[in-house]
Chains A and B, each alone.
Chain A
Amino acid sequence: MEYFLQILINGIALGSIYGLVAIGYTMVYGIIGMINFAHGDIFMVGAFIALLAFLILVAIGVTAIPLALFLVLLIAMLLTSLYGWAVERIAYRPLRGSFRLAPLISAIGMSIVLQNYVQLAQGARVKTLPPLISGVHTVLDLGNRLVVQISNIQILIIVTTFALMTGFSWLVSSTSLGRDMRACEQDLKMAALLGVDTNRTIALTFLIGAALASVAGIMYLLYYGVIDFHIGFVAGVKAFTAAVLGGIGSLPGAMLGGLLIGLIETFWSGYFSVQYKDVAAFSILIVVLIFMPTGILGRPEVEKV
């Protein structure tokens, strides 16, 4: 029982991170119908930017953790969204209206560029950051050998994710930008005809997606304390799985899918084997796509000739 609860808590924390990355996939897919293959690497870039920003802040004497964390959040979101924008501008915008595979291949190219760029710039070795936020709270103690605990960092992850999700849902549902985004999602051409600046809307979508991914990157950095240039690939595929599982194009779906993938992964690691946790996540992706191609909260796609 305690073991189960503990894994549940860990799974929710991990799932929140996947959920934040998954939103970037789901939004981009919803609007321009392509898999932004480089999104996982944007997440990785975000983690690296956060790491460097934090080190610099410490070096110049900002040691108060809450202030430093806030500044890191700000810097990382700003700079990573710049990366998201640049990727869209360089690799995707010139391809709008090209044949269907072109953006995907160009996205793979961009992913290779980002990975190797970070490896060139920061070296191939893993970077280890000592834990910044310590402290755990006991949730449940039945007097057994195992005690259910939740750490401050897990609380931070869950609260931040929840706050960002709320803010983002508000943005999509109640602002003019959100209305433009929804219009583009329904029909890009029609939206353009009705005066929506589609290029701007798409660019902003990439920007926001990258900003959320960078927050996920910070959380990952704080949670695990170890990053390298390679984390983007696997995290990206899993986040994409989450987006598909929840129903691609649906924002609550992305969050739900992220949580489910996080839970599946931790439960698989907890009860079966750690080595095959990625296999579990990938298998789920295949199974979902076969039996439920529209995901849990997605709309069925109508096939037209």
Chain B
Amino acid sequence: MSAEIAEKRSVVLHALKDALIAGIVAFGLFILLLGFIADDSRGPLRPVPRPVLLATAVGIVFVGRFLISLIYYNAAALRYYLGVLWTAIATLARRYKWLLVAAMFVAAAVWIFFSPKDWQLILITVATIAVGVRFGFSAALLVFAMLFPVAFYGNPYYLGVAIIILTYVMLGWGLNIVVGLAGLLDLGYVAFYAVGAYSYALIAQHYDWSFWVCLPLAGIFAAFFGVLLGFPVLRLRGDYLAIVTLAFGEIVRIVLLNWVSFTNGPNGIGSIPRASFFGIPFNPEPNGFAATFGLEFDPTHRTVFLFYVILALALITNWVTIRLRKLPVGRAWEALREDEIACRSLGINTTNTKLTAFAIGAMFGGFAGAFFATRQGFISPDSFTFPESALILAIVVLGGMGSQIGVAVAATVMTASFELFREFEQFRLVIFGFAMVGIMVWRPRGLVSTRYPTVYLKERKTISVEHVAEGRG
């Protein structure tokens, strides 16, 4: 008994020691940057001490490290109990699948009973669960997305957030072609997004062409830029490739910023024509959408329409990607990702393979850009900075490179949480950065860490990601 107590005490002492060291380091880190602020609100700069903030920050680090150490030193026991729990749940779920389904229905019933009696919400819930039970998670997600505007018609804010989420899903899927399938790390993807947005904005303003004519053009222009970037980086790999794509993205942004006569520079382009319903504008005029279809004018019509446009665009991206994976070019991408030298030895034209990956990835970025421009009505170079690229890359990486559904989930989680914590502008970015680090440490292969092979013999087996060499470049 006393040995056990002694052991426990030593664990606590160890944890305390760790926490003390962490606290000292944190004190060193924070003493100047948090402990003081260079204040220039009254004349020249002067240091203003902030002891409370400093103490809080150091205290948080101290306590946090203490708890982590405690858990870490008791890790064996903790892992054992977690493992037992997990195995139990997994076995139950596997053996009694119907139980899970029943539980879901019960949960849905309870929720419907207690939530505001809204038939649209009930419909969407029941439909999603039913489809989910029969056809799986992806189908449920799709049905939920399709029915979303029906359920939330009265809430334009939710619709707006959903549109942003879908835009990022589409961007994530587009970048997934380059990073997840072809394994080329692209840190300048936002450049293609910008090219798409600016080509739509400029063409629509100068020539007054419709959105539906400009959309393919924006994609083509972006694809052209993709090839333009692709050519010089053909010989590069890995980190070098990443840095060059980053430089490319910056070059595009700086040119947009400084070529004032063409792009209007930092002031951006305003009053970009809105998308119309295949020629019928969304306005209260007699030739508008509402009047044509005998409805009462409602600005939400446009939002719902935009929602379905971006949903369709995203689904097209997904469908094309899935189909391309089965074509020779898609297989060549994945082969290239796994081993470039082997690829070349087998006679795959790596030049064309890389260029098509860049071009097609860029094209979808361009589509998304054109959509962004028509939704916002205003664009400026500020929307196309490096953090945006980092966000899209983070979505792809966190989702599990190469996994379509993982990317969709990651985009949803990330964008929605960004929207949720909008008030904490910088704070959420700090958390976001730490989340990127944390996921790399704990789950380097992303949320969805199993892959299905594109080509298989008789039976389609899951393969572990450990056997896939994603993003080697």
Which residues of A does B touch, CB under 8 Å? 29, 34-35, 45, 48-49, 51-53, 55-56, 59, 75, 78-79, 82-83, 86, 90-91, 94-95, 98-106, 108-123, 125, 127-130, 233, 237, 240-241, 244, 275-276, 278-279, 282-283, 285-286, 289-290, 293, 303, 305
Contacts and interface: CB of A to CB of B under 8 A. Distances in A.
A49 B440 contact: no
B457 interface: no
A116 B390 CA distance: 14
A66 to B, nearest CB: 21
Name, among A102, A114, A121, A233, the residue most crowded by chain B CB atoms within 10 Å (CB to CB): A121
Contact of A118 (B25, B33, B341): B33
What's the dominant secondary structure at chain A's contact region?
A: helix
Contacts, number: 189
Interface in B5-51: 25, 28-29, 31-34, 36-38, 40, 44-47
A286 B45 contact: no
B472 to A, nearest CB: 5
Contacts of B469: 99
Given A99-B470, A102-B444, A103-B440, 4 more contacts: A79-B32, A82-B29, A112-B429, A122-B33
B90 interface: no
A289 B240 contact: yes
B394 A105 contact: yes
Contacts of A129: 45
A156 to B, nearest CB: 21
Nearest to B241: A289
B28 A82 contact: yes
Interface string B234-246: 0110111011101
A279 B47 contact: no
Contacts of A130: 44
A279 B251 contact: yes
Given A108-B393, A112-B429, A122-B38, A79 B243 contact: no
Given A111-B433, A285-B244, A293 B470 contact: no
Nearest to A75: B32
A79 B240 CA distance: 30
Given A52-B47, A105-B394, A111-B433, A240 B243 contact: yes
Interface of B: 25, 28-29, 31-34, 36-38, 40, 44-47, 185, 187, 232-233, 235-236, 238-240, 242-244, 246-248, 250-251, 254-255, 257-258, 339, 341-342, 386-387, 390, 393-394, 397, 426-427, 429-430, 432-437, 440-441, 444-445, 469-473
Given A34-B239, A48-B33, A59-B47, A106 B441 contact: yes
Given A100-B472, A237-B250, A279-B255, A109 B47 contact: no
Given A34-B239, A79-B32, A110-B437, A237 B246 contact: yes
Contacts of B430: 112-113, 116-117, 120
B390 A102 contact: no
A100 B45 contact: no
A26 to B, nearest CB: 13
Nearest to B472: A100
Given A101-B471, A116-B429, A127-B38, A35 B243 contact: yes
